[in-house]
Amino acid sequence: MKNKWIFCLFSVLFGIIGCRNSTVYHTYQPTTERGWLSKDTLYYALPTDILPNNFKLNIGIRHTELYPYKDIWVAVGCKENPAKKDTFHLYLTDQKGRWTSNTTGRLYQCNFDKGNLNLSSQDSTLYIIHLMSDSILTGIHDMGIRLSLPSRINTEENKK
């Protein structure tokens, strides 16, 4: 009987500790109603209480069917440190041209895990710019950034 209680206690503790959400920052920035201009930079102010740390980076895109391409090139960087910049090629459709994202109403949403991002205490603002040749991208509603701690179990990923 004593072993049964110990097993139950450890099961509950493991469930509470192991399934904590590892996301420490998650937000979206909207583009303008007329489209995402090539000169428009989307900024993400980071809370100081999460820095410094090594994070898992996830980029989110919400778009409509008005977006004319199957993919998008974006750059993600740190405003305070120009060396912390990376370029990403994100595919929004499958090989047959069908949107690969989830939809709610008229918006499609895609999430892309893009590796790790090491931020110092001086890094306070991230940004995203698009690198497409069009000066205005239509159909992109907003872009998001999620930072999570890679050493924990991410309950958001486990819902997939």
Tokens 């989307």 sit on residue: 42
> What predicted TM-score, i.e. pTM, was given to this entire model?
0.80
Kindly give the pairing relationship between strand 42-45 and strand 125-130: antiparallel
Q: Are 17 and 105 in contact (CB under 8 A)?
A: no
pLDDT confidence of residue 87 = 98
pLDDT confidence of residue 7 = 44
Among 27, 113, 101, 111, residue whose Cα is nearest residue 67? 101
Mean pLDDT (whole number) for 44-62: 95
The answer, yes or no, to whether residue 83 has pLDDT greater than 70, is: yes
